[in-house]
C-alpha cells in the first residue's frame, strides 16, 4: 500500500523541474509545427508559446504556458507568468484558429499572471478578460489540458474550453497556494494548508464537476515517463477534438455556454426584501 | 477645481442606509482622505463626496438612489450562497463568515441586482456590496450578473454594473474562478443584440471583476480616485521590492494608460449615464435594434 499523495505533494509534483512542459508536448505530439511570435502590438512574451502544428494528420493551433528548467530560461520565460502581450499573442492565435477553422489545444502551466507595474500599465486584467470573452464565442473546438499548475486568471486566460482535462497530479486553483494563504491568512508559509483547504487537485475538480477527465500519470509523476504521459494525453486530447469536430458550430457554442452557465454553488431562500431594518432569519 | 468645493446640485438622493445612522457615533463622518469631519446629513446631501473631493464608498442600497425614483425593483434576491469546499481553517470558517456578513448587511451575498430606469431609460442593473466580504465574487455574485445579462438580453435593454470588489471569493475556490467565464459568456450573448454594457468602477475594482466583466464593458466609467487593478498593490510591491508611485492604479492612471473611457464625479453620474444610454437606445427615429447575430 502506498500512502496517498497530499494536495501539497501534488503541488510539488506539478512544479517538478523535470515535469514535461508545453514545448515537450509539441515535440512529442506534432508531426510538424511552427511557433509564431508576438502580439503585433507591443512584444513577444516567452511565457506563452503559440503556434500551428499537425497531430494525427489534423492541423491544430497549440497555445501553452512555458516555464523554464534553469534560472536563465526561467528569467526569460518569467517563470511561466504571462504579461498582457502574452495573452494578446494567444488572442491573435484564437482569431487565427477561427479564421482557418482549426481546433485549438491549450496547455495550462502557470503560477498566475505576471504581477508587475508594467503588466498593470498595459492592462493585465483587460487582457485576461478579453481572452475569456473571445474563447466564450470562438467558432471552433477548443480543448485544454492542465499539465502542471493552473493558477487563477492567469490560467483561465487560455482555459475557457469545450473540454477541460487535467493530468493526475496537476492542480488548478483560484490563486496559487502561497497567494491564497497570503490573502486569507496573511501568511504565505501556510501554503500547504491552503492547498488542502481549497481543493485544488484534479480529483477535487472532477468531484466538483468542473473538469471532464483526468489523465493518469506514472508513479511519482509525469517526469518519470514523460513521453508515455504525453502520448496518453495526446490521445485523449485528439479523441475530444474529433468528437467536438463532429458538432455543428451552433451546438458547440450552446454546449460551451451551458457548460459554464451551471458552474457555481448556490441555493434559493425566501426573497430578502431589503438590506434595511432588522436582520432576517438566515437558516 | 473650483466646482469641487461648491455645494453640488442634488443629482440623486442616496437610498436609505444599510445600518442605523443617526446614532450619536456617526453623526459626524471622518473623511479617510483628508481627515476632516463632516456632518452626516450634509455628507449625504453631497452624495458622500467630501469637500476635499474624496468619493466615499456607497453601500449597494445607497447606490439605488442613482435610479429614477421608485424605479428600482430587486430581482434574484432569493439566491443564497453555499459552502462548497466546507471551508474551515484554524483562522477562519466560511459558513460563519457568511452568517456574520449576512447579519451585518441583511444580504445573502455581495450583490443586489434588478431593473430600474435612469432618466426614463429602462435598464438591468447589478450593484456590489463591498461590506460583504470585500465585495468578493463568488457563485451568487456570478449567478446574479449572469441572470442580469440574460434578462437584459431577453428584455432588450442595456446593462449597468456598479462595481466595488477585491476580487474572487477565495473561500469558494475554483468555483469562484469559474464565475469569470460564466459571466463573460452571458455578456457575449448580450453583445449580439447591440445592447451596451456600461461598467461603473468605484473604489476598489481588483482581480476577478477586472479580469472578467468589468474591464470588457462597452463603456467603462470610473469614479475619481477609484483604485483599479489586476494584482494588488502589496503583491506588486513585494514582487518588485520597491514602493509604487502614489497614483499607480488610480482611475486617473488607468485613464492615462488607455484602460477606461472616462472619470466622472459622482454628481455628474446620473446625467452622464442617462445621456449615454440614449445614444445607444435611440440611434435613429425608428430606434430599431440591430438584428441578432450580425
**Could you give the ipTM of this predicted complex?**
0.95
Instruction: Give the residue from A264, A267, A274, A277 with the most B CB atoms within 10 Å of its CB, the best one to mutate.
Output: A264
Q: Return the CA Rg of chain A.
A: 19
- Interchain CB distance below 8 Å, A200 and B216: no
- B235 contacts in chain A (CB < 8 Å): 115, 179, 182
**Whether the predicted pLDDT of B24 surpasses 90:** no
> Chain A residue closest to B213 (CA)?
A129
Q: What is the reported pLDDT for B2?
A: 47
**CATH number for the domain formed by residue range(s) A7-261:** 3.90.226.10
Q: How far is CA B68 from the centre of its chain?
A: 18
DSSP H helices, chain B, are 40-45, 60-63, 94-105, 139-155, 173-177, 179-191, 233-240, 251-256, 266-281
Chain B touched by A266 (CB under 8 Å): yes
Q: What is the reported pLDDT for A38?
A: 98
Chain B touched by A276 (CB under 8 Å): yes
**Whether the predicted pLDDT of A276 surpasses 70:** no
Give the residue-averaged pLDDT of B5-22: 50
**Whether the predicted pLDDT of A207 surpasses 90:** yes
For residues A8 and A171, what is the distance between their CA atoms, to the nearest angstrom? 10
pLDDT tens, residue by residue, A52-97: 999 999 999 999 999 999 999 999 999 999 999 999 999 999 999 9
Chain B touched by A279 (CB under 8 Å): yes
Nearest to A261 among B16, B146, B171 (CB): B146
What is the torsional sign of CA B53, B56, B57, B62?
Answer: negative
What is the torsional sign of CA A10, A12, A18, A23?
Answer: positive
Helix (H, G, I), strand (E, B) or coil at B161: strand
For residues A177 and A200, what is the distance between their CA atoms, to the nearest angstrom? 9
Q: For residue A121, what pLDDT band results from cuts at 50, 70 and 90?
A: very high
Region label for B74, one of left (φ > 0), alpha (ψ between -120 and 50) or beta (otherwise) = beta
For chain A, domain boundaries: 7-261
SS3 content of chain B, % helix, strand, coil (to 5): 35, 20, 45
pLDDT tens, residue by residue, B222-234: 999 999 999 998 8
Q: What is the reported pLDDT for B255?
A: 97
Task: Assign domain B58-281 to a CATH class.
Answer: alpha beta
Give the residue-averaged pLDDT of A233-243: 98
Chain A touched by B22 (CB under 8 Å): no
For residues B50 and A209, what is the distance between their CA atoms, to the nearest angstrom? 48
Nearest to B106 among A129, A205, A280 (CB): A280
What's the length of chain A? 283
For chain B, domain boundaries: 58-281
pLDDT tens, residue by residue, B61-85: 999 999 998 899 999 999 999 999 9
**Average pLDDT over all residues of chain A:** 94
Instruction: Give the residue from A87, A161, A174 with the most B CB atoms within 10 Å of its CB, the best one to mutate.
Output: A174
Give the residue-averaged pLDDT of B3-30: 56
The shortest C-alpha distance from A249 to chain B (Å) reads: 13
- Interchain CB distance below 8 Å, B170 and A175: yes
H/E segment holding residue B112: strand B111-118
Residue with cell 503583491: B235
pTM of the model: 0.92
For residues B16 and B18, what is the distance between their CA atoms, to the nearest angstrom? 7
- Interchain CB distance below 8 Å, A277 and B172: no
The shortest C-alpha distance from A70 to chain B (Å) reads: 20
Whether B222 contacts B253, CB under 8 Å: no
Amino acid at each position: 500500500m502506498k500512502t496517498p499523495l497530499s494536495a501539497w505533494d501534488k503541488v510539488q509534483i506539478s512544479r517538478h523541474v523535470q515535469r514535461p512542459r508545453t514545448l515537450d508536448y509539441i515535440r512529442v505530439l506534432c508531426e510538424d509545427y511552427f511557433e509564431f511570435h508576438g502580439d503585433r502590438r507591443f512584444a513577444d512574451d516567452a511565457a506563452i508559446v503559440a503556434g500551428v502544428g499537425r497531430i494525427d494528420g489534423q492541423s491544430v493551433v497549440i497555445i501553452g504556458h512555458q516555464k523554464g528548467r534553469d534560472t536563465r530560461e526561467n528569467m526569460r520565460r518569467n517563470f511561466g507568468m504571462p504579461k498582457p502581450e502574452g495573452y494578446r499573442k494567444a488572442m491573435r492565435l484564437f482569431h487565427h484558429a477561427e479564421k482557418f477553422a482549426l481546433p485549438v489545444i491549450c496547455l495550462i502551466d502557470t503560477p498566475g499572471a505576471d504581477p508587475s507595474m508594467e503588466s498593470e500599465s498595459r492592462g493585465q486584467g483587460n487582457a485576461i478578460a478579453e481572452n475569456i470573452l473571445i474563447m466564450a464565442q470562438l467558432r471552433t473546438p477548443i480543448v485544454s489540458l492542465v499539465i502542471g499548475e493552473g493558477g487563477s486568471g492567469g490560467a483561465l486566460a487560455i482555459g475557457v474550453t469545450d473540454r477541460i482535462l487535467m493530468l493526475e497530479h496537476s492542480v488548478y486553483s483560484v490563486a496559487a497556494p502561497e497567494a491564497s494563504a497570503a490573502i486569507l491568512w496573511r501568511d504565505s508559509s501556510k501554503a500547504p494548508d491552503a492547498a488542502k483547504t481549497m481543493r485544488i487537485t484534479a480529483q477535487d475538480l472532477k468531484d466538483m464537476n468542473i473538469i471532464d477527465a483526468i489523465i493518469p500519470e506514472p508513479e511519482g509523476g509525469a517526469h518519470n515517463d514523460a513521453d508515455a504521459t504525453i502520448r496518453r494525453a495526446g490521445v485523449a486530447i485528439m479523441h475530444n477534438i474529433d468528437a467536438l469536430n463532429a458538432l455543428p458550430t451552433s451546438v458547440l457554442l450552446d454546449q460551451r455556454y451551458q457548460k459554464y452557465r451551471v458552474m457555481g454553488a448556490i441555493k434559493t431562500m425566501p426573497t430578502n426584501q431589503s438590506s434595511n431594518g432588522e436582520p432576517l432569519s438566515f437558516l | 477645481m473650483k466646482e469641487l468645493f461648491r455645494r453640488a446640485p442634488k443629482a440623486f438622493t442616496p437610498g436609505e442606509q444599510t445600518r442605523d445612522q443617526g446614532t450619536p457615533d456617526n453623526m459626524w463622518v471622518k473623511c479617510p482622505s483628508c481627515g476632516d469631519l463632516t456632518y452626516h446629513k450634509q455628507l449625504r446631501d453631497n452624495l458622500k463626496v467630501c469637500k476635499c473631493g474624496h468619493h466615499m464608498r456607497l453601500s449597494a442600497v445607497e447606490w439605488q438612489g442613482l435610479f429614477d425614483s421608485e424605479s428600482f425593483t430587486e430581482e434574484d434576491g432569493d439566491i443564497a450562497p453555499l459552502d462548497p469546499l466546507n471551508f474551515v481553517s484554524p483562522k477562519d470558517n466560511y459558513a460563519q463568515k457568511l452568517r456574520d456578513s449576512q447579519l451585518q448587511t441583511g444580504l445573502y451575498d455581495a450583490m443586489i441586482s434588478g431593473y430600474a430606469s435612469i432618466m426614463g431609460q429602462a435598464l438591468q442593473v447589478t450593484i456590489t456590496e463591498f461590506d460583504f466580504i470585500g465585495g468578493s465574487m463568488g457563485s451568487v455574485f456570478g449567478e446574479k450578473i449572469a441572470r442580469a445579462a440574460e434578462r437584459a438580453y431577453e428584455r432588450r435593454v442595456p446593462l449597468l454594473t456598479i462595481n466595488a470588489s477585491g476580487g474572487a471569493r477565495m473561500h469558494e475556490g475554483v468555483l469562484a474562478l469559474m464565475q469569470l467565464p460564466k459571466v463573460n459568456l452571458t455578456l457575449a450573448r448580450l453583445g449580439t443584440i447591440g445592447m451596451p454594457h456600461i461598467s461603473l468602477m468605484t473604489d476598489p475594482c481588483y482581480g476577478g471583476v477586472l479580469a472578467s466583466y468589468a474591464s470588457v464593458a462597452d463603456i467603462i466609467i470610473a469614479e475619481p480616485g477609484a483604485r483599479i487593478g489586476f494584482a494588488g498593490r502589496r503583491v506588486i510591491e513585494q514582487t518588485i521590492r520597491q514602493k509604487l508611485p502614489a497614483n499607480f492604479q488610480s482611475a486617473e492612471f488607468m485613464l492615462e494608460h488607455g484602460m477606461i473611457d472616462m472619470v466622472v464625479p459622482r454628481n455628474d453620474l446620473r446625467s452622464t449615464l442617462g445621456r449615454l444610454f440614449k445614444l445607444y437606445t435611440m440611434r435613429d427615429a425608428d430606434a430599431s435594434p440591430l438584428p441578432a447575430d450580425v
